[in-house]
Structure 1
Amino acid sequence: MQPPIQHWLVLNTNHIRFLRIYGPAVVWGIFILIATLTPGRSLPSSSLFRFDKLIHVIIFGVFAWLVLRALYLSGRLTPENSFRIYILVASVTIVFGIAIELMQQLIPDRGADINDVIANTTGIILAQLIFYFTHRKKQV
């Protein structure tokens, strides 16, 4: 006779839907944490337009886009509340980026850099604009 399956281990359709919708944003957020908080050799950052800054634009842009995608697919991003959702997503993802920069001060061979915060914020805003212009007709 097989042992009973624990109820909390069973994925039902609601769990699967939640993972499908929110999973990519959560996994990407964890990836950002691991990538940015792993001790490593510091990169000199004398200019905002270095390759390092482009990486910040891309990874935080993807993160903001995935969060908006999750809210769109879940039905939480509607024409009635879109402005509020965009402001909320920008605020939360920008604070996330600032928090990472502050935490990097505690990591060997890492340090906080205001240019990283600017690059993160640029990526977030660009991603929101791209998301808005590619989804606005679908929201109406």
Structure 2
Amino acid sequence: MKLTLKYYGPAILWALFVLILCAIPINIKEGSGIFFVGFDKLVHCIMFFVLSVLYCAGSIRKWNTRNIRIEIAMKNTIVLLSYGALIELLQSKVFTWRSGDFNDLLADLIGTCMGIFAVQVTGAALNSVK
């Protein structure tokens, strides 16, 4: 457990922050957003982008490398997609004042893939610098 916190501590804290934000009741009409329609999807995408970058950073520190391998990227994608599915399930069954939505899960997946892509591009750029 101590090693997990050593490498993945920031990602775990951000995941708890995401869970708390997704559990807070909000009073908006269905089909509208806080600022614009689809704002909720944008927020999901951004939150999972940050979570993905932090989780990949933990993987990079754990494996002591400058970039993540494809199998680690796939594992990270599966873990984060499962976390997004858990949040949507909790929103539909436990946090009854919120609604679980497949489109939110899709936004979570897009944010996760964007984060992993950003880490891959950054790692490739750092590895090409001499």
TM-score category, normalised to shorter length: 0.7 to 0.9
Separation (CA, whole Å) in 1 of partners of 2:19 and 2:107: 16
Q: Identify the residue that residue 102 of structure 2 maps to in structure 1.
A: 114
Q: Percent identity?
A: 27
1:133 is the counterpart of 2:99: no
Match of residue 67, structure 1, among 39, 46, 55: 55
1:87 pairs with 2:74: yes
Deviations 1:6-50 (A, max 9, x none): xxxxxxxxx998655322101001101111123333553479x61
Give, in whole Å, the separation in 2 of the partners of 1:102 and 1:131. 28
What is the match of residue 33 of structure 1? 19
TM-score by length of 2: 0.80
| Rg larger for | 1
Count of matched residue positions in the alignment of Structure 1 and Structure 2: 124
1:57 — aligned with what?
Answer: 45
Task: Name the residue aligned to 1:96.
Answer: 83
Structure 2: tracts of 5 or more residues without a match = none
Secondary structure of the corresponding residue to residue 26 of structure 2: coil
Structure-2 residue corresponding to 1:123: 111
**1:22 and 2:27 matched:** no
| RMSD (Å) for aligned C-alpha atoms | 2.8
CA deviations over 1:75-100 (Å, ceiling 9, x no partner) = 25576x70100000001101110111
1: CA distance between counterparts of 2:74 and 2:90? 24
